[in-house]
Amino acid sequence: MTLLLLGCDGGGKTTFTASLCGKLLSEQTKPTTGFITKDAQRFGCPLKVWELGGGPGIRGVWPEYYSGAHAILFLVDASDAARFAEARELLHQAVAHDLVRGKPLLVVATKQDRPHAVGAAEIAEALRVHELDGSSDPGSMPLNCHVVADRLDAARLIDSGSALDLGLSWLLAAVQDGYTTLKARVERDVAEQEAKLQRQRDERKARLAAKRKAKEEAEAAEAAAAAAAATAIGGAAPDASSATPPAPAITAPSTSGVDVGLPT
């Protein structure tokens, strides 16, 4: 089962991943800037956790990972009200995507130990979770969605019976209840996405080959033109007006009838 972690940078995704994998973090974590995959186990169920960075520079690649996910976890810093609108926009964009729509979703309001942190109900309202399935009732909750609040401490693991523990239990049960359908959907979506990526690679390869061929043909034509010009210049008849005149012939003097004064 594959879980995809989304949310704004600084929302606690790395801390959650470490806790789920049974590892404690001894130092302050930095926001994830790319893609991290970890193996974990919860309630006897083997899990593959995909953690995606939440910064503006990485959000554009989120959709590339939607197809392989069986469920989504969206983490939001419950103490940072200034970013609730940003988190809401990201959540709604993700859930509206064809490769995500209908998959089980767990929203986690993290950092409950910080001042001004709001609870699960307030986060659900701030993110307008009820609108994810088109409802206009702020008190309603989509059938495939659940919201919990937890401090998510890097120095401790997920406590049994905690809000996060119960939320994960709900999420895994939701996946297992519809696993046959979800599994078929994931396999189909992954195959279609891979085929699409392969077509894009083939098209890019064909464009590069065509560009290289055009360049080679242009270079060959240029070389042929240069050779033809050189041949034309080298084989032309000389201009008579500019030819060098022949040197005059030298005639030996005649000695006929001339007394050369030989002694007798």
**Binding site as annotated, residues for GTP:** 7-14, 54
HSE-CB for 205 with a 13 A CA cutoff? 6
Q: What spatial distance separates the first Cα and last Cα of the chain, rounded to whole Å?
A: 139
Q: Positive or negative CA dihedral for 92, 93, 97, 100? A: negative
Token reading at 252: 């030996």
Q: Which residues are annotated as a binding site?
A: 7-14, 32, 54
Side by side, the strands of the sheet bearing 2-6 are: 35-42, 45-52, 2-6, 71-77, 105-110, 145-149
Q: Which residues are annotated as a binding site for Mg(2+)?
A: 14, 32
CA angle 231, 236, 237 (to 5 degrees): 160
